[in-house]
């Protein structure tokens, strides 16, 4: 398969997965229900400044790991909700890591600028080769993992988080922050 054909195929496949995941009944699900490990996999990626960010540096914090892409419409709609989570709970110990899937930094910067987001509204990590996406076994885009202070996956949200103020979202996050 030629490189352009492969890129087109991957874009169509990810778009299809995004469409499926956006229509699913979005809620926190147990990693065991999805056949995922209890402990969060390794995550070491560069941020927009080229600095490596390592999930293990956030032990003792509650971490939201969100897999997204700028071409994914549900991801685009969800981005403001993720920024709101960081704003609401960052001072209480929550870290939001937005892992961008296979896009170059200029495309991510264009998305941020075009949608009125600052570079530091959320820590954006670049997963250029989809290695983290595959190792975390994300289920389409967007997929969000909620990680406890001890590094355990406490919940997986498949599809867009549409309201961070809902009891479903904030209840689980606030419980983990209190532990």
DSSP for 33-70, please give it. Answer: GGT--SBPPP-EEEETTS-EEEGGGGTTSEEEEEEE-T
CATH number at residue 134: 3.40.30.10
Structural domain span for residue 45: 3-178
Q: Between 74 and 6, whose confidence is greater?
A: 74
Binned at pLDDT 50, 70 and 90, residue 151 comes out as very high
- Could you give the dihedral angle defined by the CA atoms of residues 22, 143, 91 and 52, in that order, rounded to the nearest 10 degrees? -140
pLDDT number for residue 26: 76
Binned at pLDDT 50, 70 and 90, residue 136 comes out as very high
Task: Report which of 132, 118, 101, 124 is spatially closest to residue 48, judged by C-alpha positions.
Answer: 124
Q: Between 17 and 166, whose confidence is greater?
A: 166
Residue 21 has pLDDT above 50, yes or no: no
Residue 158 has pLDDT above 90, yes or no: yes
Give the chain's domain count: 1
State the average pLDDT over residues 52-58. 98
Contact predicate 149/19, CB 8 Å: no
State the average pLDDT over residues 18-47. 83
Question: Out of 25-29, 107-111, 145-149, 158-162, which region has the weakest mean confidence (pLDDT)?
Answer: 25-29
């Amino acid at each position: 398969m030629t490189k352009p054909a492969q890129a087109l195929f991957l874009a169509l496949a990810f778009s299809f997965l995004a469409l499926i995941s956006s229509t699913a009944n979005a809620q926190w699900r147990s990693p065991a229900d999805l056949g995922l490990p209890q402990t969060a996999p390794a995550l070491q990626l560069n941020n927009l400044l080229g600095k490596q960010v390592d999930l293990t540096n956030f032990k003792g914090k509650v971490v939201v790991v969100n897999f997204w892409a700028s071409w994914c419409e549900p991801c685009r709609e969800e981005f403001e909700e993720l920024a709101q989570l960081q704003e609401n709970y960052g001072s209480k110990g929550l870290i939001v890591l937005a892992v961008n899937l296979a896009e170059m930094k200029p495309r991510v910067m264009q998305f941020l600028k075009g949608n009125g987001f600052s570079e530091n509204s959320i820590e954006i990590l670049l997963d250029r080769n989809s290695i983290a996406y595959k190792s975390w076994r994300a289920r389409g885009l967007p997929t969000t993992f909620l990680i406890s202070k001890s590094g355990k996956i406490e919940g997986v949200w498949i599809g867009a988080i549409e309201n961070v103020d809902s009891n479903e979202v904030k209840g689980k996050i606030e419980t983990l922050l209190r532990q």
